[in-house]
Amino acid sequence: MNDKKPLMDYRRVQKLQTPLLLTGALLSGVGTSVSVPLVILGIAIMLFAIVIGVLYYRCPHCGRPLGRIGEGGAYCPHCGKALNAPVEEPVRSITVPAYAKLNLTLDILGKRDDGYHEMQMVMQTVSLHDDVTVTLTDGKGITCRVDGAALPCDERNLAVKAARAFCEAMDYGGGIDIALIKRIPSEAGMAGGSADAAAVLRALRELVSPTLTDERLEQISASVGSDVPFCIRGGTQLAEGRGEKLTVLKPAPRFFVAVCKPDFPISTPALFARVDGVTITDRPDTDAMLAAIERGDADTLCANVRNVFEQALEGEQRDCIEKIKHTLLLHGAKAAAMTGSGSVVFGLFSDETSCRAACDALQSGSIQTLCTEFV
């Protein structure tokens, strides 16, 4: 707690302004018959009294003007707080959840001239999340710590990259410390890194610039990663382009989700390269999915869950993904698919008991499972 009093506040202004105005008026009046410099000094003192009133006669809590001295009450007319109440220290640290995502649909419409692929995806936030704590420090630069996963703590970590992008966009030069507690599987297609980056941006907005809009935050996030703009708002959204063109949808019908992570990663660049060379025979019907979400039609939603990346898988990876999907469906899943570029496979269940039973059936040394739900 900082016990140092400011050089000037509304109390000091109350005590000083009237005597200063009277002194200035007296000197100006006397100076008219004695000395011009005395008049100038009197006017300067009165101007000083007016300036300190404008600058410092303000609520110690919200900082807004209190009006004319002597006319106000004991409470701020703007925020309503008692003027003599202790001033709260500004918040310098905040912890926010970083929610994982699923791809209910994932379609690749073609390769663009800029080298990226034109995507069309319906994405959904789930309750599985990392915890991201952002603290403003007195130093300079960005520091990062990770608990729960072996991840880099430099610019290769999207959380650090997001903090850097925020500082550059908002011209913020203070120190930032980021602490991540990881629960979202890595290399899973669940946007764990993007979710952390979005959480850092939301936290920095709260700490540094609370009036910043979601739209502006999404603009900043687009330079960090393709999934980061979606993770800013979450929920149910249609993502197009590289994933940065977003349309917020009605909340999807609620499902419990069995998340199954095989013990192998899938290279996203390699998968994109392979998908360019295969003929996609089973594409998602995105329009049907959007209509189902609009109507709240859970059955039609499940019937249209698709991910074209599955058709680019090869060998043991493809066999493993298909086996997990088959087991989920046998245990009552309404739909099953890989999310993103994998390797997580998810199943949608109408009840938690069936979801957990499927997770128990698939849990092994080579497959890690957990139960989550739409949020």
16: nearest Cα among 43, 58, 59, 45: 45
On the CB side of 312, CA atoms within 13 Å amount to 26
CB atoms within 10 A of CB 100: 29
Residue 342, SS3 per DSSP:
coil
CA-closest candidate to residue 205, choices 168, 170, 238, 239: 170
DSSP β-bridge partners for residue 179: 133, 145
CB 121 within 8 A of CB 227: no
Neighbours of 172 (CB within 10 A): 15
**Distance separating alpha carbons of residues 114 and 92, to the nearest angstrom:** 41
- CA separation for the pair 83, 60 (Å, rounded): 7
Cβ-count burial 105-120 (b if 16+ within 10 Å, e if not): bbbbeeeeeeeebebb
**Tokens, residue 365:** 């040394």
Enter the tokens of residue 226.
């393709």
Can you tell me whether residue 368 is helix, strand or coil?
strand
| Element of type H or E holding 326 | helix 315-330
Pairwise CA distance, residues 271 & 240, whole Å: 19
List, by residue number, the catalytic residues: 101, 227
Q: What is the CA radius of gyration of the chain?
A: 29
Question: Where does the chain show beta strands of DSSP type E?
Answer: 93-111, 117-137, 142-147, 175-181, 236-241, 245-248, 256-262, 306-307, 335-338, 345-349, 367-373
Separation CA 125–CA 234 (nearest Å): 6
Beta strand pairing call for 142-147 and 175-181 = parallel
